[in-house]
A = this chain, B = another copy of it.
Amino acid sequence: MAFQVYLSGEIHTDWRQQIIDGCARQGLAITFSSAVTDHAASDAAGDGLGPDCEGFWRDHKSAKINAIRIQNAIQRCDLAVIRFGEQYRQWNAAFDAGFCAALGKPYITLHDASLVHPLKEVDGAAQAWAQTPEQVVELLCYLLKA
């Protein structure tokens, strides 16, 4: 069984790489995707286009361009892993979770126990909650190897 896995959320730690490396060590047939994770490039995604603008409209222009990549990746994936860190509001991660839920795409969350209560609606529609990237790798091993 081969899977496409979409990795959503936090961009300030190396959780994506840990999962990718862990799955590679296990020899799992997984293709990973994610949004552009270079923060500055992502904020500037629309700067080369359309009418010059600042503030709301600059963000708007970039967000809509990034959505081309994100929504294609979600549509194609078999599973999403959605990471919430301690910092920042990460509304985009919760938005991706809601998007998955409405499409019937299974997702798992990855966050510390301290975030359980504020994430209860997001976890409520998830297939699982993991606390470490290693747990995610183990889960993928189980799902794809067994």
Contact = CB atoms under 8 A, between A and B. Distances in A.
Interface of A: 1, 3, 33, 36, 38, 41, 45-46, 48-51, 53, 55-57, 59-73, 78-79, 84, 88-104, 106, 108, 113, 116-125, 127-131, 135, 138-139, 142-143, 146
The secondary-structure label for the interface of chain A is: helix
Q: For the complex formed by this chain, how many copies does it contain in all?
A: 8
A27 to B, nearest CB: 18
A50 to B, nearest CB: 5
Contacts of A139: 48-49, 65
Given A63-B124, A91-B122, 16 more contacts: A36-B142, A48-B138, A48-B139, A50-B130, A51-B55, A56-B116, A59-B116, A63-B120, A67-B106, A68-B79, A68-B108, A69-B143, A88-B118, A89-B118, A98-B98, A100-B102
